[in-house]
Amino acid sequence: MSTFNTENASTLESAMQLMIQTFHKYSGNEGDKYTLSKAELKEMLTTELGNYLGNAQDKDAVEKVMGDLDSNNDGEVDFTEFIILVGALTVACNDFFQEYHPEEKKPAKTE
């Protein structure tokens, strides 16, 4: 797999590059190198998202994630479906941190 030029990458560009590299780290292990099989998805969930998905070892949990992500019902998760998972988890994390770690209210500006 080719690598990205990260020398001048912004933080967001680096994050995008990491998501692409992470997907392909697992998608190439068996079958179609551009999709995640159920086994590849489980390995990726356990290794890469274990802190956020504590029950990733649970077979039923992996089945549910696969069913939720596999929007075209082909039994595999493509890159678009993977990004939906990452996006949904990112939104959930953002919501959690806003709810449980609210910023202190800034004082009103006086003129």
Confidence check: pLDDT of 22 > 90? yes
For residue 35, pLDDT beyond 80: yes
Q: What average pLDDT does this structure show over 57-64? A: 68
Return the closest-CA partner of residue 53 out of 92, 101, 21.
92
Q: Choose between 71 and 111: higher pLDDT.
A: 71
Count of Cβ atoms closer than 10 Å to residue 86 Cβ: 15
The span from the CA of 65 to the CA of 59, in Å, is 10
Residues 95, 79 contacting (CB under 8 angstroms): no
What 3-state DSSP class applies to 85? helix
State the average pLDDT over residues 25-46.
89
pLDDT tens sequence across 79-96 = 998 998 888 888 888 887
pLDDT above 90: residue 21:
yes
**What pTM, to 2 d.p., does this model score?**
0.71
What's the CATH class of domain 32-99? mainly alpha
Check: CB of residue 26 under 8 Å from CB of residue 67: no
**Among 1-5, 14-18, 19-23, 93-97, which is the least confidently predicted range?**
1-5
